[in-house]
Structure 1
């Protein structure tokens, strides 16, 4: 019956609960067994300026400080002793059982027989995991994108690796996170790893952590967000849209391989709808809506990434592609509008297509042709053919026009046309400034 479980004890200061009167915060010990946790209050308070975060002890040499350090040592010995006894009696021990016997109760006493701690405060990785678990449920309900979920899981992995690299720790208490954490995390991702990240990608990971810390402030786990002053903007990578000549080259190219034909058609579909890969992948005939008295056909869908609806009138070239695949075996079997490959295969086939069409990587700003370039190409086509940015933003399903502005690349001929309109208003054909009437 002897248990082989391991006990981990961590003393921490609940700084968010510091009193205004003297600034002191309550001291707790966190017990962890097989990933399950519980708290015990030491019924002592410590001034945060005298708390050694790294070594988990009080640095104040006063009588009170020494008593607190002694109390922590006694609690550790008591808990380890009780745990050893429980190991000889039970095959599976929980933190609640250890807490019970520490408080003089039967090991299997129910929780309502025990005074609960003030509140269970998560660590950083626990807070991240809680968010990810909730996000997974939203993905299951198709309220969020599984690709965005993948990004969140990547952020968590990078935080884990950073904690080991920087602090030789597997986790960190929220109260121990300072502004310097963000700076060091950024340096780690851009300088220390084998494959350094570019600025914009590193900042996106920090922005996600800042979002989690912001939620912790709202839940009153933290008094303030330590990352609030870290600048997560800047360094945005420009995604150059395709030139119309390149779009036409891809559209008009005669392919003989079915997989390339299907990917070419899907990419052209994206170029003239602005839908992102995950949204095209999820399109069904139900997303085609007849709008207005004329019954104009539109594609309307809630974006997987933002849950904002994107709505686009179906252009002739898009209608042609939809009609082409309406009886495709894959579309009939899976009830989808187009036979879309996995994102990895899609991008791989696009590289083949760009090579066949003579579109070089130099022409693409040293970036391979990818699915997201179609979305930028759509915005470029619309904006430079007189469609107002507000309408383009709505079609793209953006929450803010500021996001759409990153897609803008106003061409010289559009500027010339706009200025020529002003020119005819202000000047005569001879170049004379018109008389104000």
Structure 2
């Protein structure tokens, strides 16, 4: 890779000593990034030529100084050649360290990852969610286990990461850890961030992900039909806990809120919108994007139902939401009771809002995207693909109806 490279000797005129002399510094610039080194030499400003980049005069001390500066220039170029020969990154910082005889600290993958995770942990609740931190910790653990299995060591130099390492790690996740394709790719995406950090800091010379190309597989998102939603609403449930989980799930079906977002809702999120009706206004935990949702009657009824619930009052929230794990366990039981043959989870409610509640009823995709808090319309378009299947199912019913009726078109062939 070609790099822009420059050397410049200059005076720091702000640091004049008692004899009226200024220190001479060497500035190294690589690809626009600078670093400075003191030459440990000084000179009177009037005896320095900024244009010639050296001292001026014919005296012995000037000749000795210029010869010394020339030798420094030679050392910098030699350091550059040494770094290239050792397959090390050539940056202003690595050149400075080489010139000063400072050895680069060996950077290792897991140590970099752990430092990153500690920084993320301190920013949970501000820039990162607890779920994001958990994913990074999981990837770090998978990498540690992979390195122990593959290389019989606890960590490896970041410089050892290459295309082979990445593909071997992918295979490990799919075979040993039994991860699905999309989960594997998401883990590798988190791993890639650590590699980018190393690349940005000049700890590695080239990106090992350069020729690594994979895509997430299209996943068919499940959602409930209007009939299934009604079946859940009509079902008499035998315990208050089941009813509570069912109601929170239905609330999400009619608002599109993800589990983490509905759990943190409070009275301040319930406001009057531009139309004078009640809205939910919040920020998505996952993406930190604004989500403004006009409330439908079913959602309003559920807010009213739980406004005095002890759990909601004690925690100062709008609804008494159980843990995600417990909610999903109860939803499996509710699905069985309602004879719904789908993998009912808290997140399926969000898909149901996007498809059955909004897009299927003619709400424009741009409005749905805004309510869901999507950053890109492309994310919302996945739900439109799901609706093609619904159109197909509806037309199949219609086709069946017509197949039972006499044909409306003459069967007589043209030209006869």
- TM-score, scaled to structure 2: 0.68
Paired residue secondary structure (1:185):
helix
Partner of 1:399: 375
CA distance in 2, matches of 1:179, 1:308: 35
CA distance in 2, matches of 1:203, 1:190: 10
CA distance in 1, matches of 2:232, 2:210: 46
Q: Deviations over 1:196-227 (max 9, x none)?
A: 11111111111111122123322333333212
Residue of structure 1 aligned with 2:171, choices 161, 166, 187: 187
Contact 1:300 1:309 in 2 (8 A): yes
Q: Deviations over 1:254-309 (max 9, x none)?
A: 223110010000000111111111111111111112222x4222112111111111
Contact 1:204 1:232 in 2 (8 A): no
Q: Deviations over 1:125-144 (max 9, x none)?
A: 12222222222222244x43
Paired residue secondary structure (1:359):
coil
Where in structure 2 are there 5+ consecutive unaligned residues?
1-75, 89-94, 396-408, 410-416
Q: 1:120 to 1:288 in 2, by over 3 A?
A: farther
CA distance in 2, matches of 1:312, 1:233: 32
Q: Deviations over 1:311-337 (max 9, x none)?
A: 211111101111111111111110111
How far did 1:405 drift?
2.3
Contact 2:79 2:98 in 1 (8 A): no
Paired residue secondary structure (1:371):
coil
- TM-score, scaled to structure 1: 0.65
Q: 1:184 to 1:344 in 2, by over 3 A?
A: same
Note if 1:220 corresponds to 2:202.
Answer: yes
Partner of 1:208: 190
Q: Deviations over 1:134-169 (max 9, x none)?
A: 22222244x432122222211111111111111112
How far did 1:413 drift?
7.0
Partner of 1:376: 351
Note if 1:196 corresponds to 2:175.
Answer: no
Task: Tell me how many residue pairs correspond in the alignment.
Answer: 309
Q: 1:384 to 1:20 in 2, by over 3 A?
A: farther
Partner of 1:299: 280
Partner of 1:385: 361
Where in structure 1 are there 5+ consecutive unaligned residues?
1-16, 28-40, 46-114, 418-429, 431-437
- After superposition, residues 145-164 of structure 1 pair within 5 angstroms as 145-164=129-148
CA distance in 2, matches of 1:347, 1:116: 59
Q: 1:348 to 1:215 in 2, by over 3 A?
A: same
